[in-house]
Amino acid sequence: MKVVLENFTKMSAKAHGLRVLGSAALNMSMVALGAADANYEFGIHAWDVCAGDLIVREAGGVVIDPAEVHSI
């Protein structure tokens, strides 16, 4: 939890605002809609983002797994 809060603090210092809706797929849908510029998740599983992944890609967006453990 400490790492998550540290990352959140670092991002908030460089952003106009941060929004957390409680669902990875919902957060990703906000990006697809154009209501958010980006989405960052920490410690997430593939099943948490698979619906959001499809929605973002269908809207012409890009989904990246920075850990490169597997392609989402």
Residues of the binding site for Mg(2+): 48
- Could you list the residues known to form a binding site, using ranges: 48
Query: Judging by beta carbons within 10 Å of its beta carbon (0-12, 13-18, 19+), is residue 39 exposed, middle or buried?
Result: buried
